[in-house]
Copies of this chain bind each other. A is one copy, B any other.
Amino acid sequence: MSTAALTREEIVLRILAAFREFGYEGASLGRLSSATGLGRSSLYHHFPKGKEDMANAAMSAVGAWFGENVLAALAGEQAPARRLENFAGKLAEFYHQGEASCLSDVFTIGEAGAVFQQRIGERMKVLIAALAKIARESGVEQGEALRRAEDTVVRIQGSLIVSRALGDTAPFLRAMAQLPRQLLGE
Residues of A within 8 A of B (CB): 21-27, 101-102, 104-106, 108-111, 113, 117-118, 120-121, 124-125, 147, 150-151, 153-159, 161-162, 164-167, 171, 174-175
Contact = CB atoms under 8 A, between A and B. Distances in A.
A26 to B, nearest CB: 4
A68 B51 CA distance: 42
Contacts of A101: 109
B165 A120 contact: yes
A77 B16 CA distance: 49
Given A150-B171, A155-B155, A167-B118, A110 B22 contact: yes
Contacts of A151: 155
A160 to B, nearest CB: 8
A121 B96 CA distance: 20
Nearest to A167: B121
Contacts of A22: 25, 109-111
Contact of A162 (B24, B25, B157): B157
A162 to B, nearest CB: 5
B155 A125 contact: no
A165 B121 contact: yes
Nearest to A118: B167
A92 B109 CA distance: 20
Contacts of A167: 117-118, 121
Contacts of A125: 166
A47 B63 CA distance: 42
Contacts of A117: 164-165, 167
A166 to B, nearest CB: 5
